[in-house]
Structure 1
Amino acid sequence: MKIIIAPDSFKESLSAQQAANAIEQGFRQIFPDIECLKLPVADGGEGTVAALVAATNGREINLTVTGPQGTPVSAFYGINGKGTCAVIEMAAASGLMLVSPAERNPLTATSLGTGELIRHVLDAGIRHIILGVGGSATVDGGVGMVQALGGKFSDADGRELEHGGGALSSLAHIDLSELDSRLSRCLIEVACDVENPLTGPAGAAAVFGPQKGATPEMVVQLEQGLCRLAEVINNDLHQDVSQLVGGGAAGGMGMAAKLFLNGNMRSGIDIIIEAIGLRESMLGTDLVIVGEGRIDRQTIEGKAPIGVARLARRYQIPVIGIAGVLGEGVDIVHQHGIDAVFSILPRLEPLDMVLTNAESNLRYCARNIAQMMKLGARQ
């Protein structure tokens, strides 16, 4: 029997690779000779680099870049095993978790470090980039990222704009004459699972600003800045981006990646499925196991387990889902390719203990699923 083990991370407890290892160990207690293919996955957010590196025998590159507050931070990106594709998590360089809650301020937070990661990838000779845009601390319309790649954003006096979304209201002109020419020879895929536009009631400032520390007054200022950015883009580049679908992702990074990098915006899990060769691996597979920290009704909205399950359904392969918690409306996942779901929690206990025991609980749950399969095979 061949099984594919393709979990996402269990947030705050297990990486996708650790989860895959635990599931394999549990199954081997019952089926010691089973053929297991471990392909940890992610949906474009945290863990995407680790998933690609693990699934393709790639490597992680560590370097120092400019963080969201303008100070140096340690960041990273991944390169696949063939050395042909790099994956960048925006959160690694410009992420909300790099800033303490008391210091979060999207008026000054910059995406400059994300651009520095992209430049480092270009210097390495790689021309296929996967950019995950989740978890950012910024609402700067991606301007910092473009500045790091040679784009010029100036005010009415010709001075380069300061960093952060608060400076966008002073924007008067955009000059792309020195934008890195290597970008035109790149395939850039943007992992984006939200459809919010750049501006308006559903835009980057109104929806994502408060999540990044913006007060109501800041939201108004950020919205004014993004509207000004869209106006100048329309004037100078003759592109209407204000209502671009997905343009508001990561505080406007979605728009910037599409417009300035010619990025192709796609579902994060679909990008990862292709990058790790999951489709080809489905051939001859008898069972697929997916998982993440929580499976509920929101899982069907672009989350990794459903992306894998929908692919397995095309090949008529049964899918089992394993989660830390089964939330409200979880039964809807059965309509989207996950045939059965299991929680790993054997008992009620405090959250810190749940997180501490996640690996052993996951291993034991996988063991019991395998034992059930063995008993069923005797009938």
Structure 2
Amino acid sequence: MHTVVIAPDSYKGTVAAAEAAACLGEGWARVRPHDRVRLLPMADGGEGTIDAFATAIPDAQRMPITVTGPEGTPVEASWLLLPVTADAPGGTGVVELASTSGIELLGTPARLRPLDASTRGFGEAIAAALGHGVSRLVLGIGSSASTDGGTGMLSALGARFADASGRPIADGGRGLAQVVTVDLSGLPALPPGGVTVLSDVTNPLVGAWGAAAVFGPQKGTSGEDVLALDAELGRYAELLPADPETPGAGAAGGTGFGLLAWGATLVPGSAAVADLVGLASAVAEASVVITGEGSYDGQSAAGKVPAHVAAVAAASQVAVALVAGRIAGDADTSGFAAAVSLTDLAGSAESAMASPAHWLVEAGAALARSLG
């Protein structure tokens, strides 16, 4: 009997990590029903981070909350309360930007709000977790809809950003042009165990690789507005006590920078999630590990979930397999015992995208036959 650990990332735009893990496990169990299958869906701080923790950690509790979404209207969301531990006697609160202020909440390109979407809802969810009395915060900041430098989030936590007349600035990137004074004295103290921020990017706040230049266009920002936002973020950076060159400061439209100003610590998301869900100990007891993501290409080895899972498996000398929606021609899969492309399995990218859950089940069954 094998012990199989299934630890994929989300297949962006199609299947969340928790569902992907369940589908792969279903396929494996169809072929080898007596094996022990352990689902440890992974994340890097973006969409699916809360689901990954909820699946992997027993007794985690979803805490429902209504927040201000990126369109300025109410959004039903939740934060996650992880069980009490010796180093977090009040529990750990996990809050995800994607489900509170994320771009997926806008649905269609026509609803993008490049200058007006804000991170206010994310801050409201953080405030709710602090109000509950958690001892530690873990914040996922991927999939942002806005480029507001974290002003919405910080405002919801008690900071005050004012214009030349002393009035509160507008929400979103539009408000950055209005900031003249900043008062952070209303921010709450960090919880005793600190605030750990999960991000899969290392971009600085400003410049050619900054928040506006790299991520602004994905949020609907025009070329002219990109230049304006970059200049405004640079001016904003002079008003806050944080280094805009810190790797990850540009994450989530500059939310990383805002969190640095509060005193939070930015870390690579996939490695931190792996530590928090106990990936290494689970892999050490496994015979086979399966990981994956939507598109595996030449850049996937740089901090993405499959590369990290593969490294953990290699350290324990456990075979690891990859299942990706597509495997690009420049991808190096030499470290995997097997590599399955859903596109190849389904016969075309269109077929794979039309029924991703079905083909993930088939991929799990194929791996059980070849590796079992």
**Is TM more than 0.5 here?**
yes
Cα displacement string for residues 270-329 of structure 1 (whole angstroms, at most 9, x for unaligned residues): 111111111222233221111222222222122111111111111111111112222222
Percent same amino acid among aligned pairs? 37
What is the match of residue 377 of structure 1? Answer: none
Q: Is the 8 A contact 2:136 2:191 kept in 1?
A: no
User: Following TM superposition, by how much is the alpha carbon of 1:16 offset from its aligned partner in structure 2, in angstroms?
Assistant: 2.1
Residue ranges of structure 1 left out of the alignment (5+ in a row): 375-379
Counterpart CA distance in 1 for 2:307 and 2:45 is 14
What is the match of residue 86 of structure 1? Answer: 93
Residue ranges of structure 2 left out of the alignment (5+ in a row): 85-89
Matched, 1:141 2:182: no
Q: Output the aligned Cα RMSD.
A: 2.0
User: Following TM superposition, by how much is the alpha carbon of 1:193 offset from its aligned partner in structure 2, in angstroms?
Assistant: 2.1
Q: Which has the larger radius of gyration?
A: 1
Q: Is the 8 A contact 2:47 2:98 kept in 1?
A: yes
Q: How many residues align?
A: 363
Tell me whether 303-312 or 276-285 shows the greater mean CA deviation.
276-285
Higher helix share: 1
Q: Is the 8 A contact 2:18 2:48 kept in 1?
A: no
User: Following TM superposition, by how much is the alpha carbon of 1:254 offset from its aligned partner in structure 2, in angstroms?
Assistant: 0.9
Change (3 A) 1:36 1:149: same
Local SS of the residue matching 2:321: strand
Local SS of the residue matching 2:37: strand
Local SS of the residue matching 1:232: coil
1:340 to 331, 338, 341: 338
Counterpart amino acid of residue 36 in structure 1: V
User: Following TM superposition, by how much is the alpha carbon of 1:371 offset from its aligned partner in structure 2, in angstroms?
Assistant: 2.1
Change (3 A) 1:356 1:80: farther
Counterpart CA distance in 1 for 2:219 and 2:364 is 37
Counterpart CA distance in 1 for 2:265 and 2:309 is 21
Counterpart CA distance in 2 for 1:130 and 1:2 is 29
Q: Is the 8 A contact 1:166 1:225 kept in 2?
A: no
Counterpart CA distance in 2 for 1:167 and 1:364 is 49
What is the match of residue 28 of structure 2? Answer: 27
Tell me whether 76-85 or 191-200 shows the greater mean CA deviation.
76-85
Tell me whether 78-87 or 53-62 shows the greater mean CA deviation.
78-87
What is the match of residue 128 of structure 1? Answer: 136
What is the match of residue 368 of structure 2? Answer: 370
Q: What pairs up with 1:83-232 in 2 under 5 angstroms?
A: 84-99=91-106, 100-181=108-189, 183-232=190-239
Cα displacement string for residues 150-208 of structure 1 (whole angstroms, at most 9, x for unaligned residues): 11111232222221222222222211222123x25342111122222111222112222
Tell me whether 117-126 or 284-293 shows the greater mean CA deviation.
284-293
User: Following TM superposition, by how much is the alpha carbon of 1:66 offset from its aligned partner in structure 2, in angstroms?
Assistant: 0.9
Counterpart CA distance in 2 for 1:79 and 1:314 is 31
Local SS of the residue matching 1:74: strand
Q: Is the 8 A contact 1:166 1:221 kept in 2?
A: no
Q: Is the 8 A contact 2:135 2:193 kept in 1?
A: yes
Counterpart CA distance in 2 for 1:315 and 1:12 is 32
Local SS of the residue matching 2:149: coil
Runs of 4+ with deviation above 4 angstroms: none
Q: What pairs up with 1:7-18 in 2 under 5 angstroms?
A: 7-18=8-19
Counterpart CA distance in 2 for 1:217 and 1:12 is 29
Q: Which TM-score applies when normalising by structure 2?
A: 0.91
What is the match of residue 39 of structure 1? Answer: 40
Change (3 A) 1:153 1:373: closer
Q: What pairs up with 1:268-283 in 2 under 5 angstroms?
A: 268-283=269-284
Q: Which TM-score applies when normalising by structure 1?
A: 0.89
Counterpart CA distance in 1 for 2:369 and 2:71 is 52
